[in-house]
């Protein structure tokens, strides 16, 4: 649940701001694969895996307006300049020295840019984002090159039942009336908010999205309608998660998270489920907790607890927040990195939900 702090990005060196970039725990070099400067002032980048980027800002001088640039390893075959619009004078892709690619965004000379709060954020191994400026509406038209379509670095497990089929009998799950129930599954965090970071760079956002997708798939197969608050790595505020459930009159809301201990203590492991109020919320929490503990032998049962997390407090229906283990824990972390365990946990959560729905009728 603990939010990972974004890495703050720059040091001041006279007029030149150098950004410390969030390097993912990977090695080798990479090059720019695609980029887009969008009308809302967000620059999106797609790189090869393992990229190490360096970002810079320089105030205007006699020859140039304010400039922001990023260096990537690897060379371009065709250095080029793209004419800008609105506040952007031009965008250049160049080869400042051998073995380097430089993407330069130059602002019009009358634009005063303040880069102090800029953060270049690694969304995953291939994708980066930085908000450059709040462009007024219709002030700037998106400029982009390259294809982001396969940019989602998440594992694409299109058939989540490849393994489940062999190991889990769906038929053993409780049966509920088809198309009667509607469940909102909320994978915690997302996008630049990676949530907890655990052993070997294991990210809460990835683990919980994967588990949530499998839960969704299982419930669908059992005739339960499910909506996920997010299905990919986007930055979704808590408000919209709640309103998705409230506005669509969901029967229950289940937020899925993984934990982290302060100081990343490897000996802290365990699972817990929170509810905010009401016997239904408590019952749902108990049903889920009982099942997830079963598939996590040796990991402490931290129990069902009351918690006043925003998403379970503000939702109108029985709502729980499940912590499926500590990504920082030796036992939990190594398990949560494995597909098979994620599937078992997802199956356990789905079973808990189905038992609750069966009971509530
Ligand atoms: Zn979390």
Q: Please give the full DSSP string across 45-90, using - where no structure is assigned.
A: EEE-TT---EEEEE---SS---EEEEEEES--SS-EEEE--TTEEE
Is 257 found in the same domain as 177?
A: yes
Is 269 found in the same domain as 131?
A: no
For the stretch 325-343, pLDDT in tens is 999 999 999 999 998 899 8
Predicted confidence band of residue 25 (pLDDT cuts 50, 70, 90):
very low
Give the pLDDT of residue 50. 65
Quote the ligand 1 centre to 260 CA distance (angstroms).
Answer: 8
Quote the ligand 1 centre to 274 CA distance (angstroms).
Answer: 12
Is 151 part of any domain?
Answer: no
Number of structural domains in the chain: 2
More confident residue, 18 or 29: 18
Neighbours of ion ligand 1 (CB under 5 A): 1, 188, 195, 257
pLDDT at residue 18 is higher than 60: no
For the stretch 119-145, pLDDT in tens is 888 777 778 888 887 778 788 888 887
Is 5 part of any domain?
Answer: no
Is 189 found in the same domain as 71?
A: no
Phi/psi for 213 (5° steps) reads -65, -40
pLDDT at residue 7 is higher than 60: no
Predicted confidence band of residue 158 (pLDDT cuts 50, 70, 90):
very low
Winning range, highest mean pLDDT, from 15-19, 88-92, 120-124, 199-203:
88-92
Given 96, 121, 145, the domain boundary residue is 145
Is 245 found in the same domain as 345?
A: yes
* Residue where the block lists tokens 């309608």: 225
Question: Cβ-count burial of 32 within 10 angstroms (0-12 exposed, 13-18 middle, 19+ buried)?
Answer: buried
Q: Report the CATH number that the domain containing residue 248 is assigned in CATH.
A: 3.40.630.40
Is 64 part of any domain?
Answer: yes
Is 84 found in the same domain as 58?
A: yes
Confidence (pTM): 0.59
Is 131 found in the same domain as 167?
A: no
Is 303 part of any domain?
Answer: yes
Quote the domain boundaries for residue 318: 161-360
Phi/psi for 241 (5° steps) reads -65, -45
More confident residue, 220 or 75: 220
pLDDT at residue 159 is higher than 70: no
Quote the ligand 1 centre to 349 CA distance (angstroms).
Answer: 16
Length of the chain: 361
Winning range, highest mean pLDDT, from 25-29, 146-150, 181-185, 243-247:
181-185
State the virtual CA torsion across 304, 270, 292, 179 in degrees, nearest 10. 60
Q: Report the CATH number that the domain containing residue 75 is assigned in CATH.
A: 2.60.40
Quote the ligand 1 centre to 122 CA distance (angstroms).
Answer: 18
Helix (H) or strand (E) holding 289: helix 279-294
Q: Please give the full DSSP string across 226-241, using - where no structure is assigned.
A: EEES-SSS----HHHH
Is 140 found in the same domain as 57?
A: yes
- In angstroms, the CA 334 to CA 341 distance is 9
Question: Cβ-count burial of 343 within 10 angstroms (0-12 exposed, 13-18 middle, 19+ buried)?
Answer: buried
Quote the ligand 1 centre to 161 CA distance (angstroms).
Answer: 26
Is 154 part of any domain?
Answer: no
For the stretch 239-268, pLDDT in tens is 989 999 999 989 999 999 999 999 999 999
Is 218 found in the same domain as 122?
A: no
Give the pLDDT of residue 60. 87
Residue in 85, 74, 346 with CA at minimum distance from that of residue 226: 346
């Amino acid at each position: 649940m603990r939010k990972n702090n974004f890495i703050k990005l720059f040091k001041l060196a006279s007029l030149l701001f150098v950004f410390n970039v969030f390097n993912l725990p990977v090695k080798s070099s990479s090059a720019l694969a695609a980029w887009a400067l969008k009308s809302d002032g967000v620059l999106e980048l797609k790189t090869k895996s393992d990229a190490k980027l360096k970002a810079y800002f320089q105030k205007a001088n006699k020859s140039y307006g304010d400039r922001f640039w990023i260096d990537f390893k690897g060379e371009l075959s065709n250095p080029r300049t793209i004419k800008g619009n609105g506040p952007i004078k031009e965008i250049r892709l160049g080869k400042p020295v051998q073995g380097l690619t430089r993407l330069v965004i130059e602002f019009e000379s009358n634009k005063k840019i303040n880069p102090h709060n800029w953060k270049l954020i690694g969304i995953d191994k291939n994708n980066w984002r930085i908000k450059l400026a709040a462009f007024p509406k219709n002030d700037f038209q998106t400029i982009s090159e390259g294809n982001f379509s396969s940019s989602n670095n998440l594992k694409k497990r299109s058939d989540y039942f490849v393994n489940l089929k062999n190991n889990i009998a769906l038929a053993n799950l409780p049966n509920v009336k088809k198309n009667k129930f509607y469940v909102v599954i909320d994978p915690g965090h997302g996008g630049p908010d990676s949530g907890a970071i655990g052993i070997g760079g294991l990210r809460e956002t990835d683990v919980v999205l994967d588990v949530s997708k499998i839960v969704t798939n299982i419930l669908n197969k059992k005739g339960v309608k499910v909506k996920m608050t997010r299905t990919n790595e986007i930055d979704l505020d808590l408000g919209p998660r709640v309103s998705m459930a409230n506005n669509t009159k969901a029967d229950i809301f289940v937020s899925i998270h993984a934990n982290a201990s302060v100081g990343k203590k490897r000996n802290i492991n365990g699972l817990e489920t929170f509810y905010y109020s009401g016997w239904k919320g408590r019952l749902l929490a108990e049903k889920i907790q009982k099942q997830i503990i079963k598939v996590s032998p040796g990991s402490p049962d931290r129990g069902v607890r009351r918690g006043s997390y925003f998403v379970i407090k503000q939702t109108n229906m029985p709502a729980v927040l499940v912590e499926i283990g500590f990504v920082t824990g030796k036992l939990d972390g190594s398990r949560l990195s494995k597909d098979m365990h994620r599937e078992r946990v997802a199956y356990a959560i789905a079973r808990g939900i189905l038992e609750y729905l069966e009971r509530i009728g």
